[in-house]
Amino acid sequence: MKKVITYGSFDLFHEGHYNLLKRAKELGDYLIVGITTEYYDMQRGKLNVIDSLLDRIENVKNSGFADEIIIEDHDGQKLEDIIKYKIDIFTVGSDWLGTFDFLKEYCEVVYLERTKYISSSILRESRFPIIRLGMIGTGRIAKRFPDEIKYVSGINLNAVYNPRISSAKAYAKMFELDLATDDIGLFYQNVDAVNIASPHETHYDYIIKSLEHGKHVLCEKPMCLSKKEAEHVYELAKKNKLVLMEGIKTAYTPGFTQLIGVARSGIIGNIRDVEASFTKLIPGNCRELTDLKYGGSFTELASYTLLPIIKLMGCDYKNVHFESLKAENGLDIYTKAYFYYKSGLATSKTGLGIKSEGQLLISGTKGYILVKSPWWLTKGYEICFEDITKNEFVKTKFLGDGLRYEISDFVKLINGRSEIKEKLSEKESITIAEIINKSLQTLK
């Protein structure tokens, strides 16, 4: 029996896929089709897949050509599969010509001619018109955005708004945008969605304004500074049938998403403690160290440290209390927040001006998971046990500065992939706002 194998994402299943599978099947007697997981697609930088894995499997199955469907989830798997399934022929479309020649040592490699004028990318563009994104604010994060949005298809940054027109113009010139304006009405006429990267205390008003103008919103963290504000904006987004997403970039990265799944799987038993630390040394004249109302280490960094705490210990903490070291101007430069839960503890440590190890440590009844600094750019983690021979280090991919994952999930949400919401649920985001508000009342 001649065994053939082929691979792909098979997103928005189309004629090209059908033709390829048909000819692949004709090459032998038994066809195995490997379909990429979402996680693997994210890892290899393919951030635009629309259909879920289950839908993609269903579509390949319905073509009637696959005798067996397997999942492709890591680099190097093709060779492993060829050996494992005793494959005679490996085949893919001619767009990959030459790429898999190294497999010729193990089996025959056939590049089938690609069907012309059709691809998942073409379909994505026709089905989901390109989202025109406008930037509100032109600060540090806003400047990192253009380099990352380039990696996400289906969205373009084309306008910037700043009440200070000179800043808007400078930003538009730097990143070659079509429109720079201080006229918010004109701005809204030219965009479908906005990214809010203005100072923290202005987020709330901009979110409301944008939602009222029918625009989807991605807002930099901390999105809101109180539970009441956060509840209100989510309510308004729901009412206006728009996407509202808090941009805590860690929440959307493949490594962190995987880590949370693994921690929740029970591999380290019941989770009893989460300790998350994030500290930074920054010049003394920065806004974070001079803005007496909204500066300080907790407001600035706690969105990150609270994320794993809330995701793993839950939103229903019994109590939280803060211990801080303060600068002469009264701002907290180092804060420990202690959480008490019914069945565990958690600590958040944030610092601006005091440097500490930035690690994430998740402790359970059967072991612990350690994510070394910078855990918020999750590139790997270690699962540890009493019996150290069972310890395992898991490497995960993290591309660029990580913002591309957040932007790509924003696009997916706009295009109807509501399950993305689980990466940072409304309740979790509201709880983070509530805790930040408690800190503002306690520390200021």
The binding site for ligand CTP (CB under 6 A) comprises 8-11, 16-17, 20, 92-93, 95-96, 114-115, 118-121
Q: How far is the CB of 118 from ligand CTP (least distance, A)?
A: 4
Closer of 32 and 142 to ligand CTP (Cβ): 32
Residue of minimal Cβ distance to ligand CTP = 93
Q: Is 98 exposed, middle or buried (0-12, 13-18, 19+ CB in 10 A)?
A: exposed
**Nearest approach, Cβ of residue 402 and ligand CTP (Å):** 22
CB of 113 to ligand CTP, least distance (A): 7
Q: Which residue number, 21 or 217, has a Cβ lying nearer to ligand CTP?
A: 21
CB of 119 to ligand CTP, least distance (A): 4
Nearest-approach distance from CB 246 to ligand CTP, in angstroms: 28
Q: How far is the CB of 374 from ligand CTP (least distance, A)?
A: 31
Task: Convert the chain into a string of H (helix), E (strand) and C (coil).
Answer: CCEEEEEECCCCCCHHHHHHHHHHHHCCCEEEEEEECHHHHHHCCCCCCCCCHHHHHHHHHHHCCCCEEEEECCCCHHHHHHHHCCCCEEEEEHHHCCCCHHHHHCCEEEEECCCCCCCHHHHHHHHCCCEEEEEECCCHHHHHHHHHHCCCCCEEEEEEECCCHHHHHHHHHHHCCCEEECCHHHHHHCCCEEEECCCHHHHHHHHHHHHHCCCEEEEECCCCCCHHHHHHHHHHHHHCCCCEEEECHHHHCHHHHHHHHHHHCCCCCCEEEEEEEEEECCCCCCHHHHCCCCCCHHHHHHHHHHHHHHHHHCCCCCEEEEEEEECCCCCEEEEEEEEEECCEEEEEEEEECCCCCCCEEEEECCCEEEECCCHHHCCEEEEECCCHHHCEEEECCCCCCCHHHHHHHHHHHHCCCHHHHHHHCHHHHHHHHHHHHHHHHHHC
Q: Which CB sits closer to ligand CTP, 45 or 330?
A: 45
Nearer to ligand CTP, 124 or 221 (CB): 124
The distance of closest approach from Cβ of residue 426 to ligand CTP in the complex, given in angstroms and rounded to an integer, is 31
Residue nearer to ligand CTP on the CB measure, 50 or 310: 50
Task: Give the shortest CB-152-to-ligand CTP separation in angstroms.
Answer: 13
Q: How far is the CB of 258 from ligand CTP (least distance, A)?
A: 22
Dihedral of CA atoms 182, 146, 172, 219 in degrees, nearest 10, equals 0
Residue with Cβ nearer ligand CTP (118 or 377): 118
Q: Which is nearer to ligand CTP, 47 or 218 (CB)?
A: 47
User: What are the two backbone dihedrals, phi and then psi, of residue 184, each rounded to the nearest 5 degrees?
Assistant: -65, -30
Residue with Cβ nearer ligand CTP (85 or 96): 96
Residue closer to ligand CTP by CB (options 8, 364) is: 8
Tell the smallest beta-carbon distance from residue 18 to ligand CTP (Å): 9
Q: Which of 70, 71, 68, 62 is nearest to 29 (CA)?
A: 68
- Give the residue with the Cβ less far from ligand CTP, 44 or 213: 44
Amino acid making up residue 33 = V
